[in-house]
Amino acid sequence: MDVRQLNALLAVEEHGGFSAAADALHTVQSNVSAHIARLERELGVTLVDRQAGCLTHEGTIVAGRAQRIRYELEGVVADLAALRDRIVGTVRLGVIGSTARWLVPRLLAAVSERHPGIRLVVVDATSASLEPRLLSGSLDLAVVNLPVPGHDLSSEELFTEDLVLVVPVDHHLANRDRVEFSDLSSVGLLMPPTGTAFRGELDAAAAAAGLLLQPIAEVDGVRLIASLATEGHGPAIVPATAILGSRDRQGWQVLVVNGLPPRRVGVAQRRRGLPTAPARAVLDLLRGVTRAADDLTGLHPLTDARGGPTPGHAA
């Protein structure tokens, strides 16, 4: 088994066939076929369905390991460059959408200024989507809602932010500036799905207050929930930064909710494996960028985000 064989398998998976894989690898199709065939003989299984041009179940398992091997090899090059005081390489960062809108522009500027040799690949998605990708190795770091599930990820808190209630202007609560958390027990809300970190936080806060929140719909994605609420599709509890830049407030109103704990957001990484030098550099920049974000209304950065990673807990 060698790297060329593994790269051929990954190319078939990524590009959907031998011909497209050969084009991506700048070689001929016969070379890709030969590499795959040798790997199949060595492992004693069929890795590619030749008729469909896609990986078999066995091929998918091998490709998952091969992808992690590829990232580790990239890490070797990056770490050796760091020994020469050159932080270069690719860092794959996942960010939840409501945070990405303000964090990513600041982080890109910081990376460009401090480490221009780092190529940042940003994935905007929900915590529930980012966590499996982090575990699989396709992401190096992920900014997610805390706590993170399971024990294979570690995390450290970066900031908390206030949660606010967005209601249509014709809602019976719209004539107030603030409401009590207990007032929401009879209000139908747009909420994240059960099992997500944000929903877990809302349900835990409600249970502690002796309440039961009533979802009128479950939507995976805080930014989408905020958009739906500001478009008048129903009230929603959202982080304060989720409505940043929303200038037109003619159809909706923001209310403070007394007694509602803030949302916790942090950066997660795999517990196993050594982060590359570029990933460690981006992590340091994330800490600095979030500490400096005290200009955002409702966001409360930690004064020191270097408290050390903590194990993930079930959401």
Same domain, 67 and 108: no
Domain boundary pick from 44, 77, 110: 77
What is the per-residue pLDDT for 309? 44
Domain presence at residue 220: yes
Domain presence at residue 82: no
Whether pTM exceeds 0.85: no
* Domains of the chain: total: 3
pLDDT in tens, 89-109: 889 999 998 899 999 999 999
CB atoms within 10 A of CB 284: 15
∠ CA 295-225-244, nearest 5°, is 20
Same domain, 248 and 171: yes
Query: Higher model confidence: residue 77 or residue 46?
Result: 46
Same domain, 154 and 272: yes
Range of the domain at 153: 87-159+265-311
Say yes or no to pLDDT of 315 above 50.
Answer: no
Q: Which residues pair with 215 in a beta bridge?
A: 189
Domain presence at residue 24: yes
Four-residue CA torsion sign, 274, 278, 284, 287: negative
Domain boundary pick from 77, 108, 137: 77
Give residues with Cβ within 8 angstroms of 112, minimum separation 6: none
Domain presence at residue 148: yes
Say yes or no to pLDDT of 195 above 60.
Answer: yes
Q: Which candidate, 313, 280, 265, 271, places its Cα nearest to that of 134?
A: 271
Same domain, 212 and 239: yes
pLDDT in tens, 140-178: 999 999 988 878 899 999 999 999 999 998 898 888 889
Distance between start and end Cα atoms, the chain: 40
Same domain, 125 and 174: no
The arithmetic mean of pLDDT across residues 210-218, rounded, is 93
Domain presence at residue 13: yes
Give residues with Cβ within 8 angstroms of 116, minimum separation 6: none
For residue 25, the domain's CATH number is 1.10.10.10
What is the per-residue pLDDT for 53? 75
The answer to whether the CB of 179 falls within 8 A of the CB of 257 is yes
Domain boundary pick from 27, 50, 77: 77
Same domain, 34 and 174: no
Same domain, 105 and 58: no
DSSP 258: E
The answer to whether the CB of 210 falls within 8 A of the CB of 218 is no
For residue 243, the domain's CATH number is 3.40.190.290
The arithmetic mean of pLDDT across residues 194-203, rounded, is 89
Give residues with Cβ within 8 angstroms of 182, minimum separation 6: 209, 211, 259
The arithmetic mean of pLDDT across residues 5-9, rounded, is 84
DSSP state letters, 219-257: -S-HHHHHHHHHTTS--EEEEGGGGTT----SSEEEEEE
Domain presence at residue 306: yes
Q: Which candidate, 210, 258, 214, places its Cα nearest to that of 236?
A: 214
The arithmetic mean of pLDDT across residues 13-36, rounded, is 86
Same domain, 167 and 237: yes
